[in-house]
Chain A
Amino acid sequence: MPEITYREAIRHALAEELERDANVVIMGEEVAQFNGAYKVTEGLLAKFGPKRIVDTPITEAGFIGTGIGASMLGLRPVMELMFWSFYSVAFDQILNNAANVRYMSGGLINCPIVIRGPANGGTNVGATHSHTPENVLANHPGVKVVVPATAYDAKGLLKSAIRDNDPVFFLENTILYGEKGEVPTAEYLIPLGLADVKRQGRDLTIVTYGRSVIHSLAAAEVLHKEHGVLVEVVDLRSIRPLDIDTVLKSVAKTHRVLIVEEQKPFASVGSQLAYMIQREAFDELDAPIHRVATVDAPAIYSPPVEVEQLPNPQRVIKAALEMLG
């Protein structure tokens, strides 16, 4: 199987869906002529032309709202946010209009839009550009939220997202864009709402998603080699819909849960997971659920300290050993 980057995997998904459906249109800041702020859309303008690949001004509320309106009339816009952090200036469009229009119309109107872009810290860009809003987004019934960790997952999930009739918010990661992974050349789809056990284990379950999957896998390797601990790593891939069954199955196997997430702790995705696990698998738990999250402060600029603010393998190893102590 060929190895391609996470960035290329997303690009291939876009190209395949553009080819397949004439209603798919890519819109965003610098997606066309500039070839993408993070080069995700590189070459698409040359291949598909300016009708399908559309540069927008810096006007997130305006162009995201435009995409939502266009989707109501049957287009399938795939909107790029240069950073998901900019969702705040389009909040009303994303979470009042896209999220609610089907409900408020009694099911008469659909909003088959995808909004995608990176949502991560760790690049020393400070508090304004480092938001991870998957918990905020997923708090809104009517929307779907996907956070892929690997090239393979990114491609298969994005293709499903574009074909979905509900609004799907697709959160990528600038640090993962250059990471390579095996991706088949033949077409494949990954359904939203299906978790993936990225590593089998028996002593401890790490529930995680996004870049924290990579940290957790690195930590699991060390825990195995240096401490003889067998960690199972469950990658949610999709936050909403949520594959809680795969999580519960792993809990029933290991009886210990560590949540690893690049989230501010208060009302995070992990908070929801912890609630559901205790509610639905209380008798399986041999210890309280633990969590490694972002240290609770706005994203710091200082490069070495930001590493410590976010989940990283060392923090995961430390938390795991404390639990198994």
Chain B
Amino acid sequence: MSNQPSANTPAGTAAKTASDPHLAPVNLKLTKEERIALFRTMMQIRRFEERSLRAYQAKKIGGFLHLYIGQESVAVGCCSLMGKHDHVITAYRDHGHAIAVGMGMNELMAELYGKATGCSKGKGGSMHFFAPDRNFWGGHGIVGGQIPLGTGLAYALKYKGLKGAVMAFMGDGAVNQGAVHEAYNLAALWSLPVIFVIENNGYSMGTSQERSSAGDLPTRAAGYDMAWDQCDGSNVYVVRAMMDKYLTRAREESKPAVVEIDTYRYRGHSVADPDNTYRLKAEVEEYRRTKDPIQVVQNMLMTDGVLTPADIEKIDQAARKEADDAAKFAEASPYPTVEDLQQDVYWEADHPDQRQSQGRLFFD
């Protein structure tokens, strides 16, 4: 591999050595269009989240809304590496992953609005997006509860002899949950193709990492004889370089790993969090100024002559319009009906012609 940057090298001027993540084969092989697509998806997430926040403030959305703004490079970097048999599962801050696996803004926004056209027919809400046809298994509300499920997806891959890997995402607040450690142990014990991805945004709700977790987070893998790694998440290419290594290893050798990707969220834990008790505004501003994942990749694309400011403006405007259109779609969509309440509870109830059991399934 050449150490010399070229016009096709991501962040050409910054790339200096063979160990530079920008020169990782997985990044070098990206076409210009693919590099733009990564940027576009990140922009789509940002604009979707901003639009959903406005809808929330206008009281169009109920419940909780955990925004992904500031973390876009993590979901996009990881999910851009997915092959046919690779799967993703995450927690309640799931909008970014949903867009990164290719779900459309309309079905996502409609779900936030509680409409029947939503990805879960208005039955799941913000924390519970799913798209099994895109190998996206949610969207889970209980901190750490999705991690055994991700381990199970990997178990099924191995059982069926499929060469795939699972990325099981969690926040830094999840690493102290028992279910996570139980899953770590099983994944290592059974050598399952799962990568536990800790998206470390520094805060579990309003509690900083130093106030919640003893020691480093990814190194806990060593106790389970599992590989671990860590990277800066603000640069999508850095994320891709690290994840490619562990995904390949999982697919080829069926080996698990724990990785920490350091990132940051601009908004509070949820939009109900006024975000004025546990961190300083200056900290948010510092991240925005130096590490904003969209800014980082945008600068590289401009430096490399891939995009002009006018191109970027066009991509931004398109993402804004897509989000606005999604809000209009959601607004115009119908709510589920009271009759819909008892659909999608039991497979058998939804397939009466194939029902084998008898008796009452529902009670009043």
Contact = CB atoms under 8 A, between A and B. Distances in A.
A92 B178 CA distance: 11
Interface string A152-182: 0000000010011110000000000000000
B78 to A, nearest CB: 18
A21 to B, nearest CB: 13
A297 interface: no
A73 B157 contact: yes
B153 A105 contact: no
Task: Point out which of A65, A92, A193 has the most chain B C-beta atoms below 10 A from its C-beta.
Answer: A65
A214 to B, nearest CB: 22
A74 B358 contact: no
The size bracket of the interface on A is: 35 or more
Interface string A25-60: 100000000000000000000000001000011010
B124 A71 contact: no
Interface string A94-133: 0011000111111111100000000000000000000000
Nearest to B148: A65
B118 A106 contact: yes
B148 A62 contact: yes
Interface residues of B, number: 58
Task: Point out which of B142, B151, B154, B342 has the most chain A C-beta atoms below 10 A from its C-beta.
Answer: B151
A144 B232 CA distance: 46
A189 B159 CA distance: 28
A192 B355 CA distance: 10
Interface in A164-213: 164-166, 189, 191-195
Contacts of A51: 159
A120 B103 CA distance: 47
A142 interface: yes
Interface stretch (A223-231, A236-244, A311-319): A236-244
B357 A104 contact: no
Interface string B174-218: 000011001101100100000000000000000000000000000
Contacts of B360: 193, 241-244
A189 B120 CA distance: 34
A314 B123 CA distance: 49
B357 A62 contact: no
Contacts of A142: 345-346
B290 to A, nearest CB: 38
B319 to A, nearest CB: 26
Nearest to A246: B359
B186 A104 contact: no
Interface of B: 87, 89, 118-124, 128, 130-133, 137-142, 145-157, 159-160, 178-179, 182-183, 185-186, 189, 342-348, 350, 356-363
Interface of A: 25, 51, 56-57, 59, 61-75, 92-93, 96-97, 101-110, 141-142, 144, 160, 163-166, 189, 191-195, 238, 240-245, 272, 276
